[in-house]
């Protein structure tokens, strides 16, 4: 919960008050009688990002927030009341929920309260922070309780509640590991310990905001355990999706992964990914969405300066000792380039994975270049010494904004990964398979086998 609240604060800005506009028929209200006279309450909706739907201050212990909802949504209510704190709500358009405290227990009343009281009590009885149960036991106990409930509101929303509960469970398991892959706070690879690889996924897991990322983590873990085989770098989305039994979820997963790949700029592999995944789709609406993604790929021009076959052999970079080396000096080997900077936490987070990948591919015709984009060479060198970086460490003179190489490949955010062939010609100017993704090794092995 703390992580979600912090993220919401960063995205939305807790210090500002938001005007609330209500559409007729969609007005939804959350109000409360708190145990403290002064404080604040906020309501967030969980989506791709955390969106603030309301914020207010207590007036003599009371607050009321009105918002609009176009569809039923899972939200987070946060308060500065030490008895209430914060909890999840499943709100439907038109709900009117009052939050009070009786005998130190949070009590909900009003329209929509029966379902939410059940879910609140369930989450506090089976709490992931309670050492009485394992993470898996908490999840399984929650599933059993939801499935057995005789409350009509719970029964009617059973599938949705089960899906959200599963999403939350997987986020508890994989969330810390996923966070490490963007924070760069450790040199260790602390993978999540997950013994439920054959978990039956609910179609409604899509109710949880990062559902497809946690499903990816399950698939990565299955790959590394030898229980999922990826045929080649164009089939990985299709191969992952084939292991999803529910057809609706399979299609939602495929569409989300392909859309995410486009948003990440994976334009050089996307047509191959679509070709393999499209036959798995049956819903005409999803087929239309995927074809629309292909149309967007054809209009993409950002990387036109680095199309496959473009000669990059003459570009020169600086070594730590001050000497220079050009891409052409590595001819005869495939080149995997990792573009990073010392201030980029996700870049740093990929370093231990890159080191492991280099070790796995030692002796093969591929070289790994770590290309730094700091403005000052001193910052780069100090960081290398601090983190004891080894391998082919190079610097783009002048940094990202000034270096002609970065301009030529189409300026983007970092980390950024590229693949250059044995002749020094561009093969993939925007490789979206990061070292932390085990599919990258499949891709490189595939190239080496040609």
In a domain, residue 175? The reply is no
Would you state the pLDDT for residue 19? 35
CB 39 within 8 A of CB 57: yes
Q: What is the DSSP string of 182-224?
A: HH---SS--------TT----GGGGGSTTHHHHHHHHHHHHHH
Instruction: Indicate whether 334 and 381 sit together in one domain.
Output: yes
Tokens 């080496």: give the residue: 448
Query: Which of 263, 279, 300 lies at the terminal end of a domain, its last residue?
Result: 300
* Backbone φ, ψ for residue 311 (5° rounding): -85, 120
Out of 264, 279, 300, a domain closes at 300
The answer on 276 and 320 residing in a single domain is no
The reply to whether 264 and 380 lie within a common domain is no
Question: Domain range holding 40?
Answer: 2-125
Peptide linkage before 415 cis (omega within 30 of 0): yes
Last residue within a domain, chosen from 90, 110, 125: 125
What local confidence, expressed as pLDDT, does residue 14 receive? 28
Query: Does one domain contain both 55 and 102?
Result: yes
Walk along the chain (450 residues) in steps of 10 and give the mean pLDDT of each run. 36 32 66 96 83 93 93 94 95 96 96 98 95 96 98 97 98 95 89 92 95 97 96 98 98 98 96 98 98 95 97 97 97 98 96 96 97 97 94 95 95 96 98 97 96
DSSP letter at 365 equals S
Do 428 and 342 reside in the same domain of the chain? yes
Same domain for 15 and 98?
A: yes
Task: State residue 326's pLDDT score.
Answer: 97
Count of residues making up the chain: 450
Residue 139 lies in a domain: no
Structurally, the chain folds into a number of domains equal to 3
**CATH number of the domain that residue 43 is part of:** 2.60.40.1120
| Element (DSSP H or E) covering residue 140 | helix 135-148
Q: What residues does 30 pair with on adjacent strands? A: 65, 97
- Closest residue by Cα to residue 335 from 351, 316, 320, 313: 313
User: Could you tell me if 267 and 324 lie in one domain?
Assistant: no
CATH number where 353 lies: 3.40.30.10
Residue 356 shares a structural domain with residue 432: yes
Burial of 218 (0-12, 13-18, 19+ CB in 10 A): buried
Is 213 within the bounds of a domain? no
CA-CA distance, 11 to 345, in Å (whole number)?
18
Q: Does 152 reside within a domain?
A: no
CA distances (Å), origin 385, targets 184, 370, 377:
16, 15, 12
> Residues 372, 257: one domain?
no
* Alpha-carbon span 398 to 381, nearest angstrom: 14
- Token duo for residue 135: 């993470």
Same domain, yes or no, for 408 and 277?
Answer: no
- What are the backbone dihedrals phi and psi of residue 31, each rounded to the nearest 5 degrees, phi first? -130, 170
Residues 267 and 332 in one domain: no
Report the pLDDT value the prediction gives residue 7, as an integer from 0 to 100.
35
In a domain, 174, yes or no: no
Mark whether 385 and 278 lie in a shared domain.
Answer: no
């Amino acid at each position: 919960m703390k992580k979600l609240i912090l993220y919401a604060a960063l995205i939305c800005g807790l210090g500002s008050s938001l005007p609330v506009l209500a559409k007729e028929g969609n007005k939804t209200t959350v109000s409360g009688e708190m145990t403290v006279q002064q404080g604040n309450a906020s309501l967030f909706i969980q989506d791709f990002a955390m969106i603030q739907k309301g914020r207010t201050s207590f007036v003599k212990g009371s607050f009321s927030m009105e918002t609009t909802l176009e569809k039923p949504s899972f939200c987070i209510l946060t308060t500065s009341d030490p008895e209430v704190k914060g909890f999840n709500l499943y709100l439907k358009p038109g709900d009117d929920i009052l939050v009070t405290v009786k005998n130190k227990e949070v009590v909900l009343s009003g329209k929509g309260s029966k379902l939410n009281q059940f879910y609140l009590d369930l989450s506090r009885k089976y709490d992931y922070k309670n050492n009485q149960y394992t993470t898996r036991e908490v999840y399984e106990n929650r599933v059993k309780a939801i499935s057995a409930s005789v409350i009509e509101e719970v029964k009617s929303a059973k599938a949705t509640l089960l899906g959200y509960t599963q999403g939350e469970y997987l986020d508890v398991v994989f969330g810390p590991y996923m966070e490490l892959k963007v924070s760069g706070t450790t040199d260790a690879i602390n993978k999540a310990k997950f013994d439920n690889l054959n978990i039956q996924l609910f179609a409604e897991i899509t109710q949880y905001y990062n559902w497809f990322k946690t499903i990816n983590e399950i698939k990565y873990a299955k790959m590394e355990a030898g229980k999922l085989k990826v045929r080649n770098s164009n089939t990985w989305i299709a191969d992952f999706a084939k292991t999803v039994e529910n057809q609706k979820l399979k299609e939602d997963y495929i569409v989300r992964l392909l859309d995410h790949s486009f948003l990440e700029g994976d334009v050089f592999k996307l047509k191959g990914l679509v070709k393999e995944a499209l036959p798995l789709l049956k819903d005409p609406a999803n087929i239309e969405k995927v074809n629309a993604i292909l149309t967007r790929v054809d209009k993409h021009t950002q990387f036109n300066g680095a199309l496959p076959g473009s000669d990059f052999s003459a570009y020169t970079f600086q070594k730590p000792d001050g000497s220079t080396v050009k891409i052409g000096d590595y001819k005869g080997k495939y080149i995997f380039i990792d573009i990073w900077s010392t201030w980029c936490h996700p870049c740093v987070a990929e370093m231990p994975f890159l080191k492991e990948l280099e070790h796995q591919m030692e002796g093969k015709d591929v070289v790994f270049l770590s290309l730094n984009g700091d403005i000052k060479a001193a910052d780069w060198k100090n960081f290398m010494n601090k983190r004891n970086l080894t391998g082919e460490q190079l610097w783009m003179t002048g940094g990202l904004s000034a270096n002609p190489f970065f301009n030529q490949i189409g300026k983007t955010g970092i980390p950024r990964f590229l693949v250059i062939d044995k002749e020094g010609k561009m093969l993939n100017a925007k490789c979206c398979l990061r070292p932390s993704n085990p599919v990258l090794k499949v891709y490189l092995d595939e190239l080496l086998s040609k």
